[in-house]
Structure 1
Amino acid sequence: MNDSPWPNPLVRYRSDPSVLLHGGQYYFASSVMEYDRLELRRASSLEGLNTAKPVVVWRKPDSGPMSLLIWAPELHNIQDKWYLYFSATSTHEMKGNTRQHRMFVLECSDPDPLTGKWTDKGQIKTALDTFSLDATVFVLKGKLWYTWSQKTPNIESNSNIYLSEMANPWTLTGKAVLLSKPDYEWEKQGYPVNEAPAAVTHGNRIFISYSASATDKHYCLGLLWADITDDLLNAESWHKSPDPVFMTHLENQQYGPGHNSFTKTPDGQDVLVYHARMSTEGEGDPAYCPCRHTRAKIFHWDDNGMPQFGVPPPDHP
């Protein structure tokens, strides 16, 4: 069975990929190399995203809290409206080389998110006013949930994974629970990082993958899970894999796979969408390396209902 039937890379020079299957169409959002805008692509197939024309739906302003380093957008459709979640900072908020990102959301009420009007719904406020990024949303048990990455005072890490309920697509409600922080050595290579959560359900469990370590060759995926019937806002409901579940594969020359999203094929197979590098080379900050490309592969479930992501497949046309 070919677990990578699409071109690899799927979309070149695009990192932090998010793919949404909605109404029989695939929508694609990602970070762009200039970090200055939000683009969307649409195609009737995953492979079609390779050549689909990118449409700029929003550009950063010249000043203000969303005027610098636009990172990791995700498109979601919630109650027939479109939402783009992303993180950004500003020149004023930059302190030396320390980034001070916060999370924001745009809304589009028009049927077509590529041509519709987008309105700013503002910053998504959390209890902690600290560096935060990489939000995603999901619906479970009739509720809208928000999971994201944030720096926590008194925890020696760059970011940790949190979960909260939402009152609406731009407002959190109730308490937030800390789901994961970098505990293992594989989560602390280069930088101690837990970021970029992505949610998928299977059977009676909810799974949240996340990315760990620096965004270079050490980048990899970790995994959290809980029973759907348990209290998701109780940290003790969640389990954590002691080992990475998707990581660099030297033989296939795939390095630092991470920052994933989940989607499905038209016939219902589960797909892992992620970015990875083709080499370990690169100078300076790895976040600015143009060598990260979007990729996709089918993954499977074992007899215990756990995801088996396999290894990153090699490049192929």
Structure 2
Amino acid sequence: MRTALRCLVCSLLLLCTAAQAEPAFANPLVAQRADPHVTLHSDGYYYYTATVPEYDRIELRRAKSLDALGKAEAKVVWRKHASGQMGAHIWAPEMHRIDGKWYMYFTAAPAEAIWEIRMYVLENSSANPLEGAWTERGQIKTEWDSFSLDATTFSHRGQRYLVWTQRGAPPDDKSTNIYIARMDTPTSISGKPVMLSKPDYAWEKVKYNVNEGPAVLVRNGKVFLTFSASATDANYCLGLLTADADANLLDPASWRKTAEPVFATSEANGQYGPGHNAFTTTPDGKTDILVYHARNYRDIKGDPLNDTNRHTRAQVIHWRADGSPDFGAPVADQGQAAH
């Protein structure tokens, strides 16, 4: 009897430990913030930035937990210009720490030509990016000049890369594609850009032919690259490219695209159009976390870009036996959105 009781107690303790090991989040983390990006820095803070509904500024906030980001002070670190370059459509900021400085990659357009979207960079040499000055470092130039956005960067085996979205060079300019290139500085690329993905499947071509919003995660001997596809309504979803960690990442043949979306609308959980994600971890670095935006309703009046209710959310990534990520379905909201 005592042995059975001890076994029962041990089983309950193991269940409790397993439950505690996997965090759940008070989703949505931050209301009306799309295209989220999170950096867990060595100072123990999560630094967070995202697209604001007015498309007119870059905000930065920090907290010791993801759940606390919604209530953290949002500091405006940069505003759009009144005219000329960087005067409209301030989208998808991402902050990265490179060689002892902070860099903010973002999308902008001229005030007088708001669809001439291009990629830009800010730089800050302060240890704390909420302090000091953010200096404009100009446009990231690519091999051809066309609609380009959603720059992200990662370092792998001693080489830093830029991955971004761009409309193909004419005459192949009917879709937005994912490109990669080596970086020679934190603000410029070197060598010829390589296209890794273009819209191939029907789920990448709903209303628009779109691959955008790349994010990179290196795990289990693989380089995983997620991207968002289709229109920014309930059809928005995540696709996945995979390469071996020792492969030539500049060779398109090194990459394999999953034939189906890996993260998509869940009617059952009331989550629509999940996409434009970032990756982070728990503070101890042991658990991988997907940060993304989604709406909690399907029907949108007018242009989805004018609908402000893409909220930031987070959930744990699980891993399959073959080392590939299992994103599951976007989880149902657990908490109240914080503005």
TM-score tier (shorter): over 0.9
Q: 82, 87, 98: which one pairs with 2:102? A: 82
Q: 1:173 to 1:253 in 2, by over 3 A?
A: same
SS, match of residue 149 in structure 1 = strand
Match of 2:192 in 1: 175
- Indicate yes or no: 2:321 matched with 1:300: no
What pairs with 1:264-275 in structure 2 (closer than 5 Å)? 264-267=281-284, 268-275=286-293
Detail structure 1 runs of 4+ shifted over 6 Å in the superposition: none
- Indicate yes or no: 2:231 matched with 1:214: yes
Q: 41, 48, 53: which one pairs with 2:73? A: 53
Question: 1:28-69: per-residue Cα shift (whole Å, max 9, x none)?
Answer: 000001010000010011111121010000011101110001
Match of 2:295 in 1: 277
Match of 2:6 in 1: none
TM-score when normalising by structure 2: 0.90
Question: 1:203-242: per-residue Cα shift (whole Å, max 9, x none)?
Answer: 2111100000000000000000111211111110111000
TM-score when normalising by structure 1: 0.96
- Cα distance in 2 for partners of 1:80, 1:91 equals 33
Deviation of 1:157 (Å): 3.7
Match of 1:255 in 2: 272
Match of 2:150 in 1: 134
- Cα distance in 1 for partners of 2:152, 2:161 equals 8
Amino acid at match of 1:39: E
What pairs with 1:87-126 in structure 2 (closer than 5 Å)? 87-94=107-114, 99-126=115-142
Match of 1:161 in 2: 178
Contact 1:157 1:182 (C-alpha < 8 Å) held by counterparts: no
SS, match of residue 260 in structure 1 = strand
Deviation of 1:6 (Å): 1.4
Match of 1:315 in 2: 333
Amino acid at match of 2:149: L
Contact 2:175 2:198 (C-alpha < 8 Å) held by counterparts: no
- Cα distance in 2 for partners of 1:4, 1:313 equals 13
Match of 2:32 in 1: 13
Q: 232, 239, 243: which one pairs with 2:260? A: 243
SS, match of residue 49 in structure 1 = helix
Contact 2:181 2:191 (C-alpha < 8 Å) held by counterparts: yes
Q: 74, 88, 112: which one pairs with 1:68? A: 88
Deviation of 1:291 (Å): 1.4
Identity percentage of aligned residues = 51
Match of 1:288 in 2: 306
Question: 1:71-107: per-residue Cα shift (whole Å, max 9, x none)?
Answer: 000010001100000010013324xxxx220000000
Contact 1:157 1:191 (C-alpha < 8 Å) held by counterparts: no
Of 3-12 and 157-166, deviating more is: 3-12
Amino acid at match of 2:26: P
SS, match of residue 178 in structure 1 = strand
- Cα distance in 1 for partners of 2:329, 2:188 equals 37
Q: In angstroms, what is the RMSD of aligned CA positions?
A: 1.2
Deviation of 1:156 (Å): 5.7
For structure 2, list consecutive stretches of 5 or more residues without a partner in the other structure. 1-18
Match of 1:190 in 2: 207
Deviation of 1:4 (Å): 6.0
Match of 2:14 in 1: none
- Indicate yes or no: 2:46 matched with 1:37: no
Contact 2:82 2:111 (C-alpha < 8 Å) held by counterparts: no
Deviation of 1:158 (Å): 3.2
Give the paired residue count. Answer: 313
Contact 2:175 2:199 (C-alpha < 8 Å) held by counterparts: no
For structure 1, list consecutive stretches of 5 or more residues without a partner in the other structure. none
- Cα distance in 2 for partners of 1:175, 1:203 equals 28
